[in-house]
């Protein structure tokens, strides 16, 4: 039985998608290997529940130290693991940060993809190993068509998106040139309670929860008019796996087909805690003032200013609007997103409120034994 187990290798296993995908593949009976970076502090929070003692037999989840900027370790790990499937989720994934570190972003996100594809070739695994590339709706950037689908032309608007464009095309090229089963999932924004704290959705659900509990006064945001097509990461990693189970490798857009603004996301998060926010002014003057408090979870008062625009969060070039058309994924793979934005917001707020409540109890009472259910 063990010989028939499929083997998967995930880069970026410590990230949001890596954690959900590792869980999914383990539930499907895979032997899962992940590449993690060396860090001066622990960076495995999201996958600690999957950890298996290396001294135990029949382990099916193994972590390897590695980095997408180091081809020698990628070749060594791939040779050792002999994966049936590689999911390349590792990346410097923050669009705003990519303007600060453009060269590193190109190296990790663009060249990193090439390094893995070359490793497959060097090791003669072209017929064995299937490859998934985490491509992105950021490729559409300055959008040429609404909604965006597989045939919509790209116009990247950040060093991140430009690096990902190289990764997209090198994946297509290695498929055509060497017959590797390699495909791109062009994924629109997807979120969850595991989302990194500096992406806008998590920044909002975390801050609104802390504001409601009196741990923070104000949430500073950049462009609140930006429109995004937000789905749940759990739904999207299922699609990543489905894409590698087809007869023929193809590229797919993964999206919900519904669009909201950042401002609406703030309003939905506040509503979960019983706060209604009124926004006034334009651009940098824009503020969110509490206009009604109905929930017993909210400690802020009517009139409190809890959201302000801070231009420091503006980007040199912005992607104003993204809306995906997932028709191909629905028709060819039978994939449909299962989570609405309101459900996603509710799940994220609940997780962040619970964690803020713990912080609040510690702040009030210090680190003594506490019954958090009180």
What residues act catalytically? 136, 138, 160
Name which position in 60, 121, 313, 350 contacts ligand GDR (CB under 6 A): 313
Name which position in 7, 8, 9, 15 contacts ligand NDP (CB under 6 A): 15
Q: Does 226 contact ligand GDR by CB under 6 A?
A: yes
Q: Where are the beta strands (DSSP E) in the chain?
A: 7-11, 31-36, 61-65, 85-88, 130-136, 182-187, 190-191, 219-221, 227-228, 231-232, 252-254, 260-261, 275-280, 287-293, 305-309
Q: Does 137 contact ligand GDR by CB under 6 A?
A: yes
- CA distances 151 to 148, 183, 186, 324, Å, are 8, 15, 11, 12
**Tokens read off for 126:** 């072209």
Q: Does 91 contact ligand NDP by CB under 6 A?
A: yes
Build a one-symbol-per-residue string for 117-156: x at contacts with ligand NDP by CB under 6 A, - elsewhere: -----------------x-x--------------------
Site for ligand NDP in 188-227 (CB under 6 A): 189-190, 196
- Select the binding partner of residue 14 from ligand NDP, ligand GDR, none (C-beta < 5 to 8 A, by kind): ligand NDP
Greatest alpha-carbon pair distance for the chain in Å reads 66
Q: Does 113 contact ligand NDP by CB under 6 A?
A: no
Q: Does 221 contact ligand GDR by CB under 6 A?
A: yes
Q: Which residue is nearest to ligand NDP (CB)?
A: 15
The helix (run of H) or strand (run of E) holding residue 74 is helix 71-81
Q: Which range touches ligand GDR (CB under 6 A), out of 19-27, 37-45, 198-206, 234-242?
A: 198-206
- Which of 98, 224, 106 shows the shortest CA–CA distance to 165? 106
Name which position in 46, 228, 232, 263 contacts ligand GDR (CB under 6 A): 228
Give, rounded to a whole angstrom, the gap between the first and last alpha carbons of the chain.
Answer: 48
Q: Which range touches ligand GDR (CB under 6 A), out of 51-59, 89-97, 111-119, 290-298?
A: 89-97
CA dihedral sign of residues 187, 189, 192, 198 = positive
- CA distances 244 to 30, 151, 338, 348, Å, are 14, 20, 20, 29
Cβ-in-10-Å burial (0-12, 13-18, 19+) of 214 comes to middle
Q: Which residues of this chain interact with ligand NDP, rule CB under 6 A? A: 11-12, 14-18, 35, 37, 39, 43, 67-69, 89-93, 108, 134, 136, 187, 189-190, 196
Q: Which residues of this chain interact with ligand GDR, rule CB under 6 A? A: 93, 95-96, 136-138, 188-189, 198-201, 203, 221-223, 226, 228, 262, 313, 315, 318-319
């Amino acid at each position: 039985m063990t010989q028939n187990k499929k083997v998967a290798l995930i880069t970026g296993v410590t990230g949001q998608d890596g954690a959900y995908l590792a869980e999914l593949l383990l539930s499907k009976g895979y032997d899962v290997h992940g590449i993690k970076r060396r860090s001066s502090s622990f960076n495995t929070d999201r996958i600690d529940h999957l950890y298996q003692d290396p001294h135990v037999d029949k382990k099916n989840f193994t972590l390897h130290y590695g980095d997408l900027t180091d081809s020698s370790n990628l070749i060594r790990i791939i040779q050792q693991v002999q994966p049936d499937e590689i999911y390349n989720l590792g990346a410097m994934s923050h669009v705003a940060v990519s303007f600060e570190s453009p060269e590193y972003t190109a190296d990790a996100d663009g060249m990193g993809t090439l390094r893995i594809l070359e490793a497959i070739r060097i090791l003669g695994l072209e017929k064995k190993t299937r490859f998934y590339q985490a491509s992105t709706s950021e490729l559409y950037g300055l959008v040429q068509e609404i909604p965006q689908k597989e045939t919509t032309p790209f116009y990247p608007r950040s060093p991140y998106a430009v690096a990902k464009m190289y990764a997209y095309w090198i994946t297509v090229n290695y498929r055509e040139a060497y017959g590797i089963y390699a495909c791109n999932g062009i994924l629109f924004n997807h979120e969850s309670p595991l989302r990194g704290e500096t992406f806008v959705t998590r920044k909002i659900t975390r801050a609104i929860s802390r504001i409601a509990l009196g741990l923070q006064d104000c949430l500073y945001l950049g462009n609140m008019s930006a429109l995004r097509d937000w789905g749940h990461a759990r739904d999207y990693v299922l699609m990543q796996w489905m894409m590698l189970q087809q007869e023929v490798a193809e590229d797919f857009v993964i999206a919900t087909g519904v669009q909201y603004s950042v401002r609406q996301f703030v309003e939905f998060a506040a509503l979960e805690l019983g706060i209604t926010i009124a926004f006034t002014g334009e651009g940098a003057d824009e503020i969110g003032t509490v206009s009604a408090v109905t929930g017993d979870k909210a400690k802020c008062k009517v009139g409190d200013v809890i959201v302000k625009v801070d231009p420091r969060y503006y980007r040199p070039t912005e992607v104003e609007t993204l809306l995906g058309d997932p028709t191909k994924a629905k028709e060819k793979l039978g994939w449909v997103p299962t989570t609405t934005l309101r459900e996603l917001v509710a799940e994220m707020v609940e997780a962040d409120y619970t964690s803020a409540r713990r912080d609040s109890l510690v702040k009030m009472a210090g680190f003594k034994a506490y019954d958090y259910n009180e």
